[in-house]
């Protein structure tokens, strides 16, 4: 296998047209770390197949096989292919993809190696595209890249791969590349969540941050405390344990981790519908009662059930926008605070740190919104990841304190802010003003957020896409390949937006705010 790799490398050196430092004439999104390409065209065989000779990965769970099936589906779905190859030179037929995976393991976890190499020669008999990856998850990304190189030729009515020979070496810039969805303000049907996961894979995003519950509704089944989902909007607008586990499995098979969020102590009024003892009083229902041990027994039960479903290393415990007025206005809580030597502010700290200890006991590392850092950052567990959202400059302070950070500043990366156009999203740099290499490593990535006050199944895709794609390239692509001016990538992101439409994803036009409709007739590629 080493000799095969060397041979392919030598052949490519002989016949490649070397791409520019920033290749502008090839439509791949997000842009790979290294791309070299030529000017030849191959036709895809009707018997296009998958070879795994030399691969250590045995695909016992069929992740690779299913990925190849999905690849065939997306590249053939746009037109009817006419497989008459009588006049095609057999050496110009691409017979399939030869995949070599170097690891036997298919455990998906934070920091898994997602790198890959993709080579396509311009001639061969038989001729196969060649993918080499450290893990199956790198291979999934390579498949997505390959799918974007395939086109339907209207003249021949066949699928082609142009600009061969192609040599791509690729890996992500950040290990955490997230999209946040919110099923507490509006319920999202399971098929729609799966569609969102599919579209994330197209853009190489790898974390679905599932904000499942909030003050408005609690739609998730919790076996340890079965009355919690009494706080759902309605009986049909609920997720069973089996449904949540299915979402996690569906995402994992596409290389995507699911981050579950349990936002405490604020944003939790709906919890008390089933368990009123969680409220400070009947008339003052949020934040959760800090003085009641039952509050923490319940959090322990929820996180215990979470640990059986959500296998990602991290759990999100929220901690944002905590208004402690109810604690101050409730006499028995005030008495408890006095006995403990606490005030409302230190009680907030006490609650967050106690919840963190519970999560750690279940094997999780904790993500908290930035208010926890802003109020008592030095007290947070050192494994804490601080999730920035209020604005700029926070990540810089977090990493100086030696903690990890995720960037989601609302002025650029909140997709429900419809005035955040794709250009702003693209130019939002997670490492702004962070120049120390060791501190840069503490920024584990970023996330675009689609809060759902005005989002349901009718418009979630339009709200997310194509703006999330702009963040996806910022988080995936090596800084040297990122455009200094978003106008340089307008054509390429327009092409990706149209590709999403062709794959059944309701991505909105580029040239309108947020999720607005096209303003009139026109080509997909210029709207």
Cα separation, 32 vs 142, whole angstroms = 10
Which of 321, 344, 461, 488 is flagged as catalytic?
Answer: 321
The DSSP annotation for 258-269 comes to: EEEB---SSS-T
321 is catalytic: yes
Instruction: Give the N- to C-terminal CA distance of the chain in Å, as an integer.
Output: 46
What residues have CB less than 8 Å from 227, skipping those under 6 apart? 273, 274, 275
* Spatial distance between the Cα atoms of 360 and 380, rounded to a whole number of angstroms: 12
295's CB contacts (< 8 A; 6+ apart) are 265, 278, 288, 289
- Asked if 224 contacts 304 with a C-beta cutoff of 8 angstroms, the reply is yes
Where do we find the tokens 């409302």? Answer: 344
Longest dimension (CA), the chain: 89
Q: Provide the β-strand partners of residue 525.
A: none
The phi and psi torsions of 218 (rounded to 5 degrees) equal -130, 85
Q: How many H-runs (helices) and E-runs (strands) does the chain carry?
A: 18, 14
3-state SS assignment for residue 244: helix
C-alpha 73/C-alpha 267 separation (Å) is 41
Spell 63-97 as b/e; 16+ CB within 10 A means b: bbeebbebbbebbeeeeebeeebeeeeeebbbbbb
C-beta of residue 493 within 8 angstroms of C-beta of residue 422: yes
Is the distance from CB of 284 to CB of 392 less than 8 angstroms? no
Decide: helix, strand or coil at residue 387.
Answer: strand
Neighbours of 405 (CB within 10 A): 29
**Which residues contact residue 323 at a Cβ distance below 8 angstroms, ignoring those fewer than 6 apart?**
266, 286, 287
Residues noted as catalytic:
321
């Amino acid at each position: 296998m080493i000799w095969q790799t060397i041979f392919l490398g030598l052949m490519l050196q002989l016949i490649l047209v070397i791409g520019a430092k920033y290749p502008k004439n090839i439509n791949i999104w997000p842009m790979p770390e290294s791309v070299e390409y030529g000017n030849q065209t191959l036709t895809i065989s009707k018997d296009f197949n998958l070879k795994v000779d030399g691969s250590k990965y045995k695909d016992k769970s069929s992740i690779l096989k299913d990925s190849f099936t999905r690849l065939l589906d997306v590249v053939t779905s746009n037109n009817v292919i006419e497989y008459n190859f009588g006049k095609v030179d057999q050496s110009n037929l691409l017979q399939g993809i030869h995949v070599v995976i170097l690891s036997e393991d298919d455990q998906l976890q934070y920091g898994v190696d997602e790198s890959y190499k993709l080579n396509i020669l311009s001639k061969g008999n038989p001729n196969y595209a060649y993918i080499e990856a450290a893990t199956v998850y790198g291979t999934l990304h390579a498949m997505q890249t390959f799918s974007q190189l395939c086109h339907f030729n209207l003249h021949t009515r066949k699928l082609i791969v142009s600009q061969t020979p192609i040599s791509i070496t690729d890996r992500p810039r950040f290990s955490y590349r997230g999209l946040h969805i919110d099923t507490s303000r509006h319920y999202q049907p399971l098929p729609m969540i799966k569609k969102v996961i599919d579209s994330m894979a197209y853009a190489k995003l790898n974390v679905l941050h599932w904000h499942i519950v909030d003050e408005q509704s609690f739609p998730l089944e919790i076996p340890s405390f079965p009355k919690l989902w009494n706080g759902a909007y309605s009986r049909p607008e609920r997720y069973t344990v089996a449904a949540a586990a299915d979402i996690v499995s569906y995402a994992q098979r596409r290389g995507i981790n699911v981050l579950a969020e349990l936002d405490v102590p604020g944003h939790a009024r709906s919890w008390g519908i089933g368990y009123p003892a969680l409220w400070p009083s009947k008339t003052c229902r949020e934040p959760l009662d800090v003085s009641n041990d039952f509050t923490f027994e319940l959090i322990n039960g929820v996180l215990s059930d979470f640990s059986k479903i959500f296998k990602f290393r991290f759990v999100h415990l929220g901690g944002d926008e905590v208004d402690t007025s109810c604690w101050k206005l409730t006499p028995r809580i005030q008495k408890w605070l006095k006995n403990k030597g606490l005030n409302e502010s230190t009680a907030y700290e006490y609650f967050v740190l106690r919840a963190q200890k519970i999560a750690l006991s279940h094997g999780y590392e904790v993500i908290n919104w930035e208010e926890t850092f802003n109020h008592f950052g030095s007290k947070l567990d050192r494994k804490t990841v601080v999730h920035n959202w209020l604005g700029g400059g926070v990540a810089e302070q977090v990493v100086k304190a030696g903690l990890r950070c995720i960037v989601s500043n609302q002025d650029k990366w909140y997709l429900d802010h419809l005035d955040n156009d794709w250009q702003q999203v693209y130019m939002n740099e997670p490492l702004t003003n962070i120049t120390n290499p060791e501190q840069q490593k503490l920024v584990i990535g970023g996330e675009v957020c689609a809060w759902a006050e005005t989002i349901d199944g009718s418009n979630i895709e339009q709200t997310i896409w194509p703006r999330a794609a702009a963040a996806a390239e910022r988080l995936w692509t090596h800084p040297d390949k990122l455009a200094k001016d978003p106008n340089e990538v307008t054509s390429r992101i327009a092409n990706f937006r149209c590709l999403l439409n062709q794959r059944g994803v309701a991505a909105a036009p580029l040239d309108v705010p947020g999720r607005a409709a096209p303003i009139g007739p026109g080509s997909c590629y210029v709207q």
